[in-house]
Structure 1
Amino acid sequence: MASITLTPSEKEIQTFVQQYEQALTPSKNPYIRYFFKLPQASVSIYTSGKVLLQGEVAERYASFFGYQVRPVASGQNFPMIGTDEVGNGSYFGGLAVVASFVTPDQHDFLRKLGVGDSKTLTDQKIRQLAPLLKERIQHQALLLSPSKYNEIIGERYNAVSVKVALHNQAIFLLLQKGVQPEKIVIDAFTSAQNYDKYLKNEANHFSNPVSLEEKAEGKYLAVAVSSIIARDLFLENLENMGRELGYQLPSGAGTASDKVASQILRAYGIQGLNFCAKLHFKNTEKAKKMLER
């Protein structure tokens, strides 16, 4: 969790208070003038004039006061590949994996666009950013459709090994384009030991070492770019399949997914779900039971 202390001007403080007035929360600390509970961060403005920002996205709110995110010299101040996947936790839609190659001279461009952890960005913002990133950043995108996912899960792959295969293939294909990264980072979805175990089953290999790091999309711009492009690809696929079936397919795996799944099941049978959903999720059985009522 990031923790940042700043001493902005009174004018900057008042501007911040006005902008985030709805997030103002009472504080029992007599030395705190204003306390804000914001998405994934908190901001305390003290009577001394100091401002304390804490949380996963503290840097994002600190930038309001002119705070500059400092590049991690050992982490991303050189050419690197970062990968991320989207769709793993969603019943509807495929599995999108993207590998992106980012160089230090692109950092300013990315920061000015507001590239960061895609989980802090709205889907609307992601749809705006993705075309700009795809145009400027070398990347390799892969999309495993739900029908193909259903075909291979349980026979050749499990939910983890299929992601190992996709991340490895995206990196392999990007390296084939001639990029020369000094580091390759995968947003960790399993242990390095598990990754290496499943990697042995893959046909394509490369000699570059790979690091698996948790919450890498918030640490490395290359991973953040991949996260945004992957989310855009996933959303586009979801929209296209929904349009073809005549239903709005929700993201995630909640009760909204159960309801739509039961409607598709009634209209098209299990073949309809096989086309647009990951059948091994519990939502499939829930949708079947909804039809029985």
Structure 2
Amino acid sequence: MGHIVHYVSDDTLKEMTTYYQPYQTKTPQHAVFQAKKNGVTITGYRSKKVMFQGQNPEVEAGRWEALKAAKGSTKKTVNQHDYMPNASLYNQNTIGSDETGTGDYFGPITVCSCYVTNEQIPLLKELGVKDSKNLTDETIQSLAKTILQLKIPYSLVILHNEKYNRLQKKGWSQGKMKTMLHHVAITKLLKKIAPTKPDGIIIDQFATPNVYINHLQSEGKTLPASTYFVTKAESHAISVACASILARYSFVKEMDKLSKTAGFTLPKGASSKVDQAASYLVKKQGYACLDQFAKVHFKNTEKIATYLRK
């Protein structure tokens, strides 16, 4: 479970209070409102701080990032349908891009982009390449090695915890971090396969195209031509499924390295098991070590003290 903090204007806070009224829950002390929508708890405080907490809070937080960008710009908002591919694209030569590690307290975010030709699709399907979320780590390891042996062109980018935490303190949302990681991976892969050009680039959608493009523009970058955003893209495009597997394979290897450094196996996810492991790690090495091992803004960090008192 992660959380994102925004500081908003009085007008935006009023707008959010009205917008979330149908979803409101019991308002805590010092808060203007608290609501729960799509598994994300949103709390607006009198200090004009707004906190988004839950699984993938960047989607809900992104709604307000897009609104802020739209108010500060005269640029036309992009049309979501312009970035949805025709189904025939899934059987063509595509770059697919996916990420993992975003909901895990320990470990980095890994993003991978893969280029798959239409001739390779039948073999990859026959080998069992599909969404990594439906595969065990052992199967992922086996499939990843097969993909590498087939010399599928790919680009892998890893955002380690120290840099993740620096960017988060700088004010970057996790959504912006993922956007820039995908952009770097795709840009590197386009250079790697040049002069070949894919029929399309498919990104597993974690934000609306408008929010994604605004993130790019804030860093002086632009969206490559023929880029499309698809929800659960790894279930539709083999190129995204390959990227999903290689990203997860890399994440598991990075977790193994961190576990060796910690001296014990670090659990994945953000459950109470993770809270216990984090408290044990802090007891051994102190709070400062978390910067190397964890995404410190996650709620898990606040829970460590409770376990240390036991």
TM-score (norm 2): 0.69
How far off its partner does 1:154 sit?
A: 3.0
* SS in structure 2 at match of 1:229: helix
Q: Distance in 1 between matches of 2:242 and 2:187?
A: 18
How far off its partner does 1:212 sit?
A: 1.0
How far off its partner does 1:73 sit?
A: 6.0
Q: Distance in 2 between matches of 1:198 and 1:211?
A: 16
Q: Distance in 2 between matches of 1:270 and 1:166?
A: 28
Considering only aligned residues, what root-mean-square deviation do their CA atoms show, in Å? Answer: 1.5
Which of 97, 100, 120 is equivalent to 1:86? 100
How far off its partner does 1:288 sit?
A: 2.3
Which of 167, 188, 210 is equivalent to 2:182? 167
Residue 101 of structure 1 aligns with which residue?
Answer: 115
* SS in structure 2 at match of 1:105: coil
Q: Distance in 2 between matches of 1:162 and 1:86?
A: 12
For residues 244-276 of structure 1, what are the alpha-carbon distances to aligned partners after superposition, in whole Å with 9 as ceiling and x for unaligned?
110201110001100000001111112221111
- Asked if structure 2 preserves the Cα contact closer than 8 Å seen for 1:92 and 1:250, the reply is yes
TM-score (norm 1): 0.73
Change (3 A) 1:87 1:129: same
* Map 1:63-142 → 2, pairs under 5 A: 74-135=88-149, 136-142=151-157
Rg: which structure is higher? Answer: 1
* Map 1:268-283 → 2, pairs under 5 A: 268-283=285-300
- Asked if structure 2 preserves the Cα contact closer than 8 Å seen for 1:172 and 1:206, the reply is no
How far off its partner does 1:201 sit?
A: 2.1
* Map 1:184-223 → 2, pairs under 5 A: 184-205=201-222, 207-223=224-240
Change (3 A) 1:207 1:277: closer
Q: Distance in 2 between matches of 1:154 and 1:185?
A: 30
> What amino acid sits opposite 2:249 in the alignment?
D
> What amino acid sits opposite 1:120 in the alignment?
N
For residues 114-133 of structure 1, what are the alpha-carbon distances to aligned partners after superposition, in whole Å with 9 as ceiling and x for unaligned?
00111111111001111221
* SS in structure 2 at match of 1:160: helix
How far off its partner does 1:139 sit?
A: 0.4
- Asked if structure 2 preserves the Cα contact closer than 8 Å seen for 1:169 and 1:204, the reply is no
Q: Distance in 2 between matches of 1:134 and 1:288?
A: 43
Which of 144, 149, 154 is equivalent to 2:164? 149
- Asked if structure 1 preserves the Cα contact closer than 8 Å seen for 2:213 and 2:222, the reply is no
> What amino acid sits opposite 1:169 in the alignment?
V
> What amino acid sits opposite 2:286 in the alignment?
G
> What amino acid sits opposite 1:157 in the alignment?
W
The sequence identity of aligned pairs, in percent, is: 36
How far off its partner does 1:100 sit?
A: 0.5
- Asked if structure 2 preserves the Cα contact closer than 8 Å seen for 1:115 and 1:224, the reply is yes
* SS in structure 1 at match of 2:201: strand
Instruction: Structure 2: give runs of 5+ residues left out of the alignment.
Output: 1-85
- Asked if structure 1 preserves the Cα contact closer than 8 Å seen for 2:121 and 2:238, the reply is yes
How far off its partner does 1:206 sit?
A: 5.6
Q: Distance in 1 between matches of 2:269 and 2:204?
A: 19
Residue 50 of structure 2 aligns with which residue?
Answer: none
Q: Distance in 1 between matches of 2:211 and 2:146?
A: 35
For residues 154-209 of structure 1, what are the alpha-carbon distances to aligned partners after superposition, in whole Å with 9 as ceiling and x for unaligned?
30511110000001111011111114111111000111111111110234546423
* SS in structure 2 at match of 1:242: helix
> What amino acid sits opposite 2:214 in the alignment?
K
Instruction: Structure 1: give runs of 5+ residues left out of the alignment.
Output: 1-71
Residue 38 of structure 1 aligns with which residue?
Answer: none
Residue 241 of structure 1 aligns with which residue?
Answer: 258
Residue 301 of structure 2 aligns with which residue?
Answer: 284
Across the two proteins, how many residue pairs are aligned to each other? 222
For residues 10-49 of structure 1, what are the alpha-carbon distances to aligned partners after superposition, in whole Å with 9 as ceiling and x for unaligned?
xxxxxxxxxxxxxxxxxxxxxxxxxxxxxxxxxxxxxxxx
